[in-house]
């Protein structure tokens, strides 16, 4: 009897939040379900313990890495940016976990998919920089969700993106433009050298990136394909493609 295809294991680095003065490590259920259902893979939750647990140890056991969105911003010290505005939410433990994980995953040929903050992390980890308040820049739109909107409306279509002709996303989704949801203030400033744009917003902001020289699919989007992907064919296609990339790694790691 032949061996059945292994269920790929996709790591989800967690955020740190405080509740009643206690620290919790957490991830939104939408991301966990995106892995379990949209990617047909096993979600593996990675606590934000920095390098207490070696990135190499995680990467040796994983078939993919999903970098989720979060309300927190990457500390500007990681990309040489100016100090954050007062009241900005940061998560230094997540930064200390994800940035080394990204570099280790790229070196080991582990597929990566970044979403929102995850796109920003990928860019920063590989040497790029960020705008902290895109809406304050001349000629740029306000990409934040309108305040006080119910969650379903906040995650509704916000603006189109134009996919780069000949790029991975344009080929995968077989379209030139895509309507996306948008809930971010930070955005790419200087693009990291290993990355190329895959999509742009109408104001020119880079909304998706890919590492073309990576040994496995390394892609990130500024929007949220995990949100109700069951009702969004483009989102479902993207998640399934990433799951397939993780399956390829899982199959390659199987003993003969």
Active site residue 175: no
> What are the backbone dihedrals phi and psi of residue 230, each rounded to the nearest 5 degrees, phi first?
-60, -25
Q: What is the DSSP letter of 1?
A: -
- Residue-wise burial string across 199-211, b where 16 or more C-beta atoms lie within 10 A, e elsewhere: bbbeeebbbbbbb
CA distances from 118 to 160, 163, 231, 254 (A): 20, 19, 23, 28
User: Choosing from 121, 198, 207, 226, which is the catalytic residue?
Assistant: 226
Residues 163, 198 contacting (CB under 8 angstroms): yes
Active site residue 224: yes
Active site residue 116: yes
What is the rounded CA–CA span in Å between residue 245 and residue 39? 10
DSSP per-residue codes, 126-168: TT--EES-GGGSTT----SPPTT--HHHHTS--EEEEEPTTSH
> What are the backbone dihedrals phi and psi of residue 244, each rounded to the nearest 5 degrees, phi first?
-65, -40
User: Choosing from 15, 116, 143, 198, which is the catalytic residue?
Assistant: 116
If we measure between CA atoms, which residue out of 89, 52, 42, 41 comes closest to residue 69? 89
User: Choosing from 131, 143, 184, 224, which is the catalytic residue?
Assistant: 224
Q: Give catalytic residues, as residue numbers.
A: 116, 224, 226
């Amino acid at each position: 009897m032949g061996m059945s295809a292994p269920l790929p294991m996709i790591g989800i680095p967690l955020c740190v939040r405080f509740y009643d003065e206690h620290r919790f490590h957490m991830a939104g259920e939408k991301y966990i379900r995106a892995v379990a259902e949209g990617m047909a893979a096993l979600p593996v939750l990675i606590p934000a313990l920095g390098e207490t647990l070696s990135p190499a140890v995680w990467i040796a056991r994983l078939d993919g890495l999903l970098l989720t969105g979060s309300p927190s911003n990457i500390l500007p010290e990681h990309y040489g940016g100016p100090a954050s505005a007062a009241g900005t939410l940061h998560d230094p433990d997540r930064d200390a976990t994800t940035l080394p994980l990204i570099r280790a995953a790229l070196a080991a040929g582990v597929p990566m998919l970044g979403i929102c903050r995850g796109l920003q992390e990928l860019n920063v980890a590989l040497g790029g920089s960020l705008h902290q308040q895109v809406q304050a820049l001349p000629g740029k739109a306000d990409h934040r969700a309108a305040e006080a909107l119910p969650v379903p409306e906040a995650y509704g279509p916000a603006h189109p993106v134009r996919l780069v002709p000949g790029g991975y996303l344009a080929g995968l989704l077989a379209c030139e433009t895509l309507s996306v949801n948008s809930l971010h203030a930070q955005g790419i400033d200087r693009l990291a050298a290993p990355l190329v744009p895959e999509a742009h917003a109408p104001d020119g902001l880079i909304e998706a990136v890919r590492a073309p020289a990576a040994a496995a699919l390394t892609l990130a989007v500024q929007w949220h394909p995990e949100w109700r992907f069951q009702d969004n064919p483009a989102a479902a296609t993207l998640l399934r493609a990433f799951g397939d990339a993780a399956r390829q790694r899982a199959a390659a790691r199987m003993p003969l």
